[in-house]
Chain A
Amino acid sequence: MTAPAASTSRPTFSWLRVRTVVRRHNYVLWRSPERWFDIIIFPLFDVLLWGSLGAFVAQENDVSRASTPYLLAGIMVFHILFQSQIAVSTGFMEETWSRNLLNMMTTPLREIEYVVGLAAYGFIKLAAAMTMVSVTAFALYRFGLGEVGWGLVPIAGLLVVIGWSMAMMVVGMLLRFGQSAQILAWATTFLILAISGVFNPVEAIPGVLQPIARNLPTTHVFTAARALLDGRPMPWGELGQGAIGAVVFAALAVAFVTHMLATFRKRGYVTRYS
């Protein structure tokens, strides 16, 4: 009995398998009412909270920049980051909740196909969530993100890349530390909300945190969004710094999750989920 010569063919990328991942998560969304919290309820509450706060500030001091448009634009742009991140993170968590990880790992599905499928489905959820915040903000406060102008396109693009990178970091932590790391999926974006100056300039952040804030790509992207809202020209400098930071962060995230996946296979952590 002799073994056949081992194949050395390159692994092939399958869009069919990517589409199947999208289909899998579409089923889950329609069968799981609680999943709509992320894309309907949280955005709705955020618009209500920050819109009302802005309206109140505007009533008290109508020259303040911290009025409704400023806060609403901040939270709406923040939701691009949040939705990109949470869609991929919770998509992976779904496999752990349903103990489906070993099932998936014993099919031809490749890791890159799975991640691309999750990210693609994340786009659909992002579109649903942004529709929700946009409609709510316009209906309740007569505010539309269109006020930011076409500059919103690169800003949104950078936030999506950063959101996916954050999700890769979360997935890496889940692979390494198990389900106890799930809290990071929500905690990391709210940490970014606090120290990236979503609503305020970096100078308003406590001094000890300012060096950290200035080195976050999100800070530059949110600063660029505020500049556009103020009617200033496209802040290419801020966008450029944000883009460089996003690329570096994405590279670090891919390296991290690849390393964690190797550790996951090496230490046999798949048995945690089966």
Chain B
Amino acid sequence: MGTVLHAQGLVKSFAKVRAVDGIDLSIGMGERVGLLGPNGAGKTTTLLMLLGAITPDEGSISLAGHELPRGRSAAMSEVAFVAGYLPLPERLRVREALSLFAGFYGMDRRTGDAAVAAGLERFGVTHLADRMCMELSSGQRTLVGIVKAVLCKPILLVLDEPTASLDPDVAYRVRQGLLDVAAEDGTSLLVTSHNMIEVERLCTRVVFLAGGRVVADGSPTEVAQAFGHGDLEGVFLHLAGTVIGEDQLMEVGPLPDEEVRS
């Protein structure tokens, strides 16, 4: 199995706070990985470094076979990003906004418009095509965001809190859409979420961060068992309840029998 992402020794500090403290992460083709951890664990900082939006203090990143930061543009033609909190340009119609992103992905107008129409249909949101982006509900915005992300047929789809604040039925549609993309296109997923049930349904592997470090890495079942809990919710609560510092990290990890890896 080839890798779509290989990051080694990532370190990032903001002022005196070490947000990310030596993270190694590899994702294979077709893997669906959940990047989990309590608030302040370093998830979003890690994602933004992996996407080239933040420069790490130390470490190296190879994304879609391109070394960052030099290969960022080439890498991002095969990697897409969706965040539940990120709106599309508000003064544009959905069709126009998506057509622009198709252009950024290197499609000419005709190819891009065809890809947009196909994407909207695939996710059942063709009726939103002529709506202004500012008029979309958060669920519609997320679905359109996923349409935007899959325009380039990415080999890796990075999602930051994709279903945050969505109703359960909309969250289900989003989750199902992501699973379809992964199954049909072979797209790898890297997802952050605070919804552990969702992660168990969506991901084949989870990586738990605490204090900017990887403290667990394996299948949801393996990680839950390694921490002595029945599910990921228990692991999450365990980590969130731990005051993260050098001593506490020793309490939390490493996992029994080294790290559990898929």
Contact = CB atoms under 8 A, between A and B. Distances in A.
A3 B53 contact: no
A28 B91 CA distance: 6
A1 B28 contact: yes
Contacts of A12: 73-74
A104 B80 CA distance: 11
Contacts of A110: 73
A266 B54 CA distance: 6
A270 B54 contact: yes
A265 B67 contact: no
Interface stretch (B102-110, B188-196, B208-216, B222-230): B102-110
Contacts of B81: 102, 106
A259 to B, nearest CB: 13
Interface in B26-80: 26, 28, 44-45, 48, 51-55, 62, 65-67, 69-74, 76-77, 80
Contacts of B100: 20, 23-24, 27
B39 to A, nearest CB: 14
Given A4-B3, A17-B103, A24 B55 contact: no
Contact of B71 (A11, A16, A20, A107): A11
Contacts of B2: 1-2, 4
A9 interface: yes
A184 interface: no
A254 B1 CA distance: 43
Contacts of A99: 86-87
A179 B44 CA distance: 22
Name which of A8, A28, A100 has the most chain B CB atoms within 10 A of its CB. Answer: A100
Contacts of B72: 11
A20 to B, nearest CB: 3
A121 to B, nearest CB: 13
A262 interface: yes
Contacts of B77: 108
B75 to A, nearest CB: 8
A6 interface: yes
A102 B70 contact: no
Contact of B26 (A1, A7, A27, A268): A1
B96 interface: yes
B65 A4 contact: yes
B3 A109 contact: no
Interface in B106-158: 106, 108, 148
A16 B106 contact: yes
Given A5-B65, A108-B77, A20 B104 contact: yes
A180 interface: no
B83 interface: yes
Contacts of A11: 70-74
Contact of A106 (B51, B62, B90): B51
B172 interface: no
- Nearest 8 pairs between A and B by C-beta? A20-B103, A3-B6, A6-B67, A106-B81, A107-B104, A31-B91, A108-B77, A265-B55
17 contacts: A7-B65, A7-B74, A8-B67, A11-B70, A12-B73, A19-B103, A28-B89, A103-B88, A103-B89, A103-B148, A105-B53, A108-B76, A108-B77, A108-B105, A265-B53, A268-B48, A274-B83
Interface of A: 1-9, 11-12, 14, 16-17, 19-20, 23-24, 27-28, 31-32, 98-100, 102-110, 262, 265-268, 270-271, 274
Given A98-B87, A106-B80, A267-B14, 11 more contacts: A2-B2, A3-B62, A7-B65, A8-B70, A16-B106, A28-B89, A106-B51, A107-B101, A109-B104, A265-B52, A271-B48
